[in-house]
Copies of this chain bind each other. A is one copy, B any other.
């Protein structure tokens, strides 16, 4: 039987990797992508997955109701998000609306239309916020302490999910996804930004130069986007309704080390210059997750190593 997926935020790189995953797995699938922006992906070579795309603004309840009524998806992979923490400090209202409110609109449409749809609510490690080091690695039952507008929006999304599961009987599985990296990620995200700058340095004559960064001492848990989408597929099929799962590697790496690794890979010498404007208010210094729960639930552990991911991110920026 053909699996019907609605993917919101279709024009982002996670969506493309998810479709690639379906195709590699030879899943007979029909994917309807929606986004406020056009996408630039090419699906011509796909054999198993077919596509439809429509420009839809999820802030419009009417629009999303129409799409859901027409398409009646079996699964919704909800990727649409203003997922930048930095941006959320600059435009908190737009960030909140385009995370929490759009999600609520989707839930409400599903409820009203009484559809038998399973939704993957993609959340963020940022929800944990600034936590005492004794809580590391972060487990799903670690208290949430969101410290940015973006993080609050994600916690709100999660709380709404729980109300819709318990109060209205909707079928939602939740993630707290940690930083993901991989080819095609935009350079507003930190590792892509570094890779792009490093490739630029490499291509300049002297193979050395200056890289602009925020606080490079912060530690994050990076997961390859291809592992992430595999987790999403597994959770959509086998996750437990109403449960939230960390999607993470379980390993912390400082931004400083990421830069050093990537500079090594392409053999450039780099001087890091800290741009104070890139520092954020109330930054979380260290985020490392525990992936035991998802591992037990759907037998998922990351398959890509950090070095593999970094190689491919650099490759991507080299060829672009």
Contact = CB atoms under 8 A, between A and B. Distances in A.
A160 B149 contact: yes
The range of chain A's interface size is: 20 to 34
Contacts of A282: 163, 166-167
Interface in A119-146: 143, 146
Contacts of A61: 93
A11 interface: no
Interface string A155-190: 110011011001110000000000000000000000
The quantity of this chain's copies bound in the complex is: 2
Nearest to A105: B93
A96 B92 contact: no
A246 interface: no
A165 B167 CA distance: 32
A89 interface: yes
Contacts of A92: 104, 108
Of the listed residues A61, A96, A105, A167, the one surrounded by the most CB atoms of chain B closer than 10 A to its CB is A167
A108 B155 CA distance: 19
A89 B282 CA distance: 35
A149 B162 CA distance: 10
Given A92-B104, A96-B101, A147 B167 contact: yes
Contacts of A100: 96, 100, 156
A211 to B, nearest CB: 26
A216 interface: no
A97 interface: yes
A148 B92 CA distance: 24
Nearest to A89: B167
Interface in A59-118: 61, 89, 92-93, 96-97, 100-101, 104-105, 108
A152 B147 contact: no
Given A96-B160, A155-B156, 14 more contacts: A93-B104, A96-B100, A96-B104, A146-B163, A147-B166, A147-B167, A148-B167, A152-B159, A152-B160, A152-B163, A155-B155, A166-B281, A166-B282, A167-B281
Interface of A: 61, 89, 92-93, 96-97, 100-101, 104-105, 108, 143, 146-149, 151-152, 155-156, 159-160, 162-163, 166-168, 281-282
16 contacts: A89-B167, A92-B104, A100-B100, A143-B143, A146-B163, A147-B162, A147-B163, A147-B166, A147-B167, A149-B163, A155-B156, A155-B159, A156-B156, A156-B159, A167-B281, A168-B281
The 5 closest A-B pairs by CB, nearest first: A167-B281, A156-B156, A152-B159, A167-B282, A166-B282
